[in-house]
Amino acid sequence: MHEPHHPVQASYLRMTAQEITQDVIQRHESPGRQFWMVTSVLAGLLGLGIIGFIILLSKGFEDRNAWGYYATTFAYIFTAAQSAVLISVALRMVKAHWRRPIARISELFAAVGLFTFLLLIPLLWVLPVTTGRRSIWFEWPGHSPHLWDTLALGLLVVCGLALLYFASIPDMAAVRDHATGARQNRYRRMALGWQGSLHQWKKLQVGISLLGGFYFILLIVVHMLISVDFAMSLVPGWKDAIFPAFHAITGFQSAVALTIVTMSILRWKTSLRRYIEADQFWGLSKLLLALSLLWFYFWWSGFFTYWYGRQPAEQSILKFLMFETYKVPFILAFLLCFVTPFVILMWNFVRKTIWGPTLAASIVLVGTFFNAIRFYVPAYSIEDSSLHFLETLPPANTPGGVDILIIIGGIAGAVLVYMLASRVFPIVSTWELKEGLLLQRVRKLMKIQIKVLAKPE
């Protein structure tokens, strides 16, 4: 734990504020040819997805079973991208200094919210009314989930975008100061007259923490609404109080994994090595380990209560979701969301590398996809949601060609939106780095170099 000569990370501490700004802004201006190549490939894949979507649409909304994988794609993108914003919010809340270089990387996922929202719209026609079946809307009109879930997700997306925009204002001002011509004009308008006065900084801080707190609460609410309305309440007899919390945990888990993977792609393909270091991977991999353990804990609490009770209604749910019909996605999710990341990340020396967290995070991203499959596909494969409990289990729905097109297109679309958003907002937050320069010092204590962190409050 405490090696005597642990190298002090955060090599940006050896730079000056001007150097940091120069470096990041320059990168922001010229992304390079590879960037555009990747975006065009992604656009092509998205096109395939749209073709798939049109085929699906032509079949109509009546056959809910056909929409299972579409719902999965929506849920997967929602859980990963919308929760990713939370990484920066949470780390900022606990004042973790190592978050500074990666805060924007996770915040940028707020832009994907627009795409998530688009994906939700067709699902509203697929979702049956709540009349005559169990739901968290109890005696409310049957269309309540359609209305409130849309509003809540919309609000979440708007809130995320506002947070992203707000937290980037100083950086956009920096771009403005370094750019010329039309670009300067554009960023002048976007920077909203940022001058960096004390008053402005105070407003920014308050705005960020308020939006962050609001986003946090809203995200938990939306997780609850979507997990119950779009999955749990469609399966008769499935009454699992922990499910919304479990859904949120898988969201956080995929969010951390997504941030780690994005970080290592940036490290690998761009020259941001100086900012994204083992420190960040170490911090996030500890979180990922904790969340993988929580994944198991929440799953176990739900599973165990059902399994021990031996009630027929609950047994049929276990059979349906875990042990018979959707056995394969469950086992894959269990292995990829819990077992493998746990085995990889339990070692501190692995957590301190770059490859270890990256490997575990990629595995978790695949795992959370299967995790989404095991909830959403079964939910849409049930014809009559108003039954008392599942007496006969419907057959498993395996993905067809259209489903695969939609999955690929959906994920490609989300990545595309993210990449385009990174053209608008610099992907490394320079003002947070510069704040870090103020609050951190490297000093010598006895024989070792040690970081000194200021606690202004």
State in angstroms the smallest separation of the CB of 166 from another protein: 21
Positions in 189-208 near another protein (CB under 8 A): none
Out of 140, 214, 297, 342, name the contact with another protein by CB under 8 A: 297
Neighbour tally for 245: CB within 10 Å: 17
Among 240, 277, 403, 432, binds another protein (CB under 8 A): 240
In the region spanning residues 431 to 450, those forming contacts with another protein, defined by CB under 8 A, are 438-439, 441, 443, 445, 448, 450
Side chain identity, residue 63: D
Report the distance separating Cα 255 and Cα 251, nearest Å.
6
Which structure tokens are listed for 48? 């395939």
Number of Cβ atoms within 10 Å of the Cβ of 116: 26
Tokens of 260: 């780690």
H-helix or E-strand spanning residue 63: none
Q: Where are the alpha helices (DSSP H) in 11-143?
A: 17-29, 33-58, 68-77, 83-93, 103-107, 112-126
Integer Cα distance of 202 and 198 in angstroms? 6
258 closest CA partner among 357, 136, 118, 374: 357
Out of 242, 261, 332, 387, the only residue in the binding site for another protein (CB under 8 A) is: 242
Rule CB under 8 A: say whether 298 interacts with another protein.
yes
Nearest to 96 by CA among 104, 88, 107: 88
Q: Which of 11, 131, 311, 386 binds another protein (CB under 8 A)?
A: 311
Which residue's CB is nearer to another protein, number 343 or number 438? 438
Burial of residue 202 (CB within 10 Å: 0-12, 13-18, 19+) is exposed
Q: Residue from 26, 305, 384, 386 that binds another protein (CB under 8 A)?
A: 305
Q: In this structure, how many other beta carbons lie within 10 angstroms of the beta carbon of residue 163? A: 22
When asked if residue 339 is in the footprint of another protein (CB under 8 A), the reply is no
Interface residue with another protein among 33, 199, 447, 455 (CB under 8 A) is: 455
Contact between 134 and another protein by CB under 8 A: the answer reads yes
* x/- track of binding to another protein for residues 97-116 (CB under 8 A): xx------------------
318 binds another protein (CB under 8 A): no
Given candidates 279, 379, 421, 432, which one binds another protein under the rule CB under 8 A? 279
Least separation, in Å, of the C-beta of 179 and another protein?
Answer: 29
Neighbouring residues of 455: CB distance < 8 A, sequence distance ≥ 6 = none
Q: Which is nearer to another protein, 81 or 228 (CB)?
A: 228
C-alpha dist (Å) from residue 379 to 258, 372, 373, 396 = 26, 11, 10, 11
CB of 55 to another protein, least distance (A): 36
Mask for 373-392, x = binds another protein (CB under 8 A): ---------------xx---
Closest CB 239 distance from another protein, rounded Å: 5
Closer of 306 and 334 to another protein (Cβ) = 306
394, containing H or E segment: none
Query: Which range of residues in 51-59, 167-175, 306-314, 402-410 is near another protein by CB under 8 A?
Result: 306-314
Amino acid at 284: L
- Helix 355-380 to helix 198-230 angle, to the nearest 10 degrees? 40
| Structure-token pair, residue 295 | 């994944």
Tokens representing residue 306 in the block = 């059902």
- Is-contact 388 336, C-beta < 8 A? no
245 is an interface residue for another protein by CB under 8 A: yes
In the range 209-238, which residues lie near another protein by CB under 8 A?
220, 224
Half-sphere exposure of 31 (CA within 13 A, CB side): 17
Q: Which of 36, 125, 268, 304 binds another protein (CB under 8 A)?
A: 304
CB of 131 to another protein, least distance (A): 13
Give the one residue of 244, 341, 367, 410 binding another protein; rule: CB under 8 A.
244
Q: What residues make contact with another protein under the rule CB under 8 A? A: 1-2, 6, 9, 97-98, 134, 136, 138, 220, 224, 239-245, 279, 297-298, 300-302, 304-306, 308-313, 315, 388-389, 438-439, 441, 443, 445, 448, 450-457
